[in-house]
Structure formats: structure tokens, C-alpha cells
Amino acid sequence: MTAITAAGNAAELPPYPGARSGRCPFDPPAELIEGQQAPGLRRAQTSHGVPAWVATRFEDAKVVLSDTRFSADVRRFPQLTVSTQNAQGPQPFPRTDDPEHARIRRQFTGEFTVKRMEALRPSIRDLINTILDEMISREERPVDLVRHFALPVPSLAVSLLLGVPYEDHDFFQENSAVLTRRFATREEKTAASAALNDYMLQLAHRKQREPADDLVSRVLAAGELSPQEMAVNGKVLLLAGHETTANMIGLSVVALLNNPEQAARIRAVEDPKRAARAVDELLRYLTVPQDLIHRVATEDLELGGQHISAGDLVTVSLPTANRDARFDNAHVLDLERTQPSGGHLAFGYGIHQCLGQSLARIELQEALTILLRRLPDLRVAVPTDEIKFRHDMAAFGVHELPVTW
């Protein structure tokens, strides 16, 4: 096991996020959990090849995510993006700081309120049932749950929200899926990203000419964003929810089928509050965003007794922070758990905290209950140690999940 040292040369730095190698495939790497016992940030080499400071403690994570001396504008590290984004054009708002960040985010917050998302719940439920009908009707067994269920759910849910016409769903879903596919080449990813950019720009122009009852039309009608800004940020909405939600669905299925008692709880749950509690515990326990948080220090500073220089990259191990000792029996999945005050960090913290969290919660609550109820004999068709986990990816999860019933 490689010890994570407080400092070191890039060549000898331990890799981050590293493999989830604890007692079970869901536990953060043992080195990070061990490192969490001592104060300070760790030095590691991110999967993008950039050395970074890693915060593992809950309180340190909150500082990195809320202190204005950490900037989300990481353009100085081009390795962090696969993007056809023109560096001179509008920046996606998650990569900007206030006040620019607030100017753009404000245009979308009214679209993601709990009330508005709850109003969408019946349509999301119908959508999930339709996706499941299609999966069940496939002739092959086993079926890859990732491709035929987990990925289509967030992609089609967000296209419903944005107002993407139904006939464009296949294009939308296929190109978003390429961006998360393990064996897609950089060229394929760049082409898919460019196709989505063009598509979103055309959609924005179309919604400006012929507004309808959807997010893109309403945001453009408010007059604050140009079609170009809408296109860049519409793509952000599509992609931000895609990999994260899909991997939460895939991993939750593995975790629940490995714990039949907990799966039975999800099947039986009628009370929406208990369903919500169960999903929040899955979010905490599995915490898929593992190499998604990137900040750059804007000045020399000290955190946890550690000196950080201006220009250094800083990341937060959300999976490790969510196993902090502030959670009783932190390494146990307990669907009845009430999260301690202040909650968990699976959706981040501070001004960049997940904009789509109400939507994500509804998608997960509906997807997991519908799937487990409609397929009471659902099982993973390979042993757990043969499942292809996404250890080295920005979002942890499963590359594919052969299931049968």
C-alpha cells in the first residue's frame, strides 16, 4: 500500500482517486481513510495527470468549497477538460466565480426548485416505466443495465426538462453516452461534444423563435442570457446530471442486491419521506463524484496546518469526507439513517452546490423503486469481483452491469 505523504515529487505521488480497495467495493481507498485520521491535506496525482492537494476531512472539504480563496476557474489546467469549448467564448458557469457565476446560476435556480421538480415527478415516473418496458422487451439475457436503464434515465429526464423534442432523444442520448464511455477515444469524445454544442445552439435559436413551456424557452425569454450562453450552459445541465445519476443508479443496484434486506426496504417503502431518506443514505455511502471537484488557490494560504501556494490545484475527496467520524458507523449502509445536521457532501457545498439535486433525488427514488418492484427477481449476472467498476473515473460507478431476472 502506498502511503500518501504530505508533500512529494509528481513522479512519486500516489494516484488520485485510486481504487476503492477497502472491505468492499464501495469504500474509499484505505489510504485516504487512513490519511483522514491526521489533519492536513494530502498530495496526490489526479487521474488527469495534474498534482493536487486532496482534502479528505468533512470540515476541510467545506472550507475548500466555500472559501473565496479557492477559485473554480481552472482554465490554467487544460488537462481537466475534454471540451471543444472556445477559451474566448462564454464559460460554463460551474467553472466561474461570483459575481459571474451568480449571474448565470440565478437564471436557472427557479427552474430547479423542489416544487417545480415535484411537479415533474409523474412525467419522470412515466419515462422510467417506458425505459424499463424497453429493457424488459429485449431478447438477450443478461442485459446491460447501464446501457439500457441507468444511462437513458438522466439523459431523457433532462431532455424533458430542457424541451428537447422526442424525435431527437436518440441523438441526444447517444452523444451524451459517448462522453462517459470508457473506450471512446479522445477524437470520438471531442466529436460528440461538438455535436452537442451545435445541437444546443440550434435548440436555443429554435426556442427563441418558437417558445414553448420548457426551461430553455423560459430562460431565453427572461432576456438575460444570449443563445450562445444558453447553449453552453444547457450542455452543462445535460452533462452534469448524466454521469453522476447514471452511476448512482448502477452502483445502488449493486449495493442493494448485495444487501437483500435493504433491497426489501426499498421495495416495501410507501412513505415518500422514507424513500427520500434511503436515497440520501445511498448518496452518502456511495458518493460517486470522486474526481469532479477542482479548485485553484488564488493566494498562498494555510489549511489544516498545510501551506498551499497560489496556483496550486486543490481537490476534495467527497467519498472520504462522507465517511468522516461525524457520521455514526460511517462505513455502514443504513437506509433508515437520518443524516446529521449539515447533511452529507455528495452534492458538494457552498455556491457551487449541485443545482440539480432535487431532480437527481426524484430520478433515483423513482428509478430504484420502480426497477426493484417490477423485477422482484432482479440479480447481477456476474460475481461482484467480476463487475467492472469505474475506479479511475471522475465519477465512480460501474462501466457495465449484466443483470438478469
- Does 245 bind ligand HEM (CB under 6 A)? Our answer is yes
- Does 163 bind ligand HEM (CB under 6 A)? Our answer is no
How does DSSP assign 18-61, residue by residue? ----SSSTTSPPHHHHHHTTSSSPEEEE-TTS-EEEEE-SHHHH
- Does 117 bind ligand HEM (CB under 6 A)? Our answer is no
Q: Which stretch binds ligand HEM (CB under 6 A): 139-147, 190-198, 232-240, 261-269?
A: 232-240
Among 346, 367, 380, 401, binds ligand HEM (CB under 6 A): 346
Among 28, 152, 250, 356, binds ligand HEM (CB under 6 A): 356
In whole angstroms, the minimum distance from the beta carbon of 8 to ligand HEM comes to 25
Rounded Cα distance between 269 and 335, Å, is 11
Write out the three cell numbers for 360: 437527481
Rounded Cα distance between 238 and 162, Å, is 9
- Does 403 bind ligand HEM (CB under 6 A)? Our answer is no
Strands 301-303 and 70-71: unpaired
Give whichever of 169 and 307 is closer to ligand HEM, judged by the CB atom.
169
Write each residue from 54 to 83 as x if it is in contact with ligand HEM (CB under 6 A), else as -, in one continuous string: -----------x------x-----------
Q: What is the dihedral of CA 76, 78, 83, 88, to 10 degrees?
A: 40
Rounded Cα distance between 104 and 106, Å, is 5
**Helix 227-258 vs helix 357-374: angle between axes, to the nearest 10 degrees?**
40
Write each residue from 290 to 329 as x if it is in contact with ligand HEM (CB under 6 A), else as -, in one continuous string: --xx------------------------------------
Give whichever of 342 and 376 is closer to ligand HEM, judged by the CB atom.
342
- Does 158 bind ligand HEM (CB under 6 A)? Our answer is yes
Among 90, 250, 319, 348, binds ligand HEM (CB under 6 A): 348
Rounded Cα distance between 283 and 344, Å, is 8
Rounded Cα distance between 159 and 121, Å, is 14
* Site size for ligand HEM (CB under 6 A): 27
- Does 240 bind ligand HEM (CB under 6 A)? Our answer is yes
Question: Which three-class secondary structure state does DSSP give residue 399?
Answer: strand
How far is residue 103 CA from its own chain's centroid? 23
Query: Which positions lie near ligand HEM, rule CB under 6 A?
Result: 65, 72, 93-94, 105, 154, 158, 236-237, 240-241, 244-245, 248, 288-289, 292-293, 346-348, 352, 354-356, 359-360
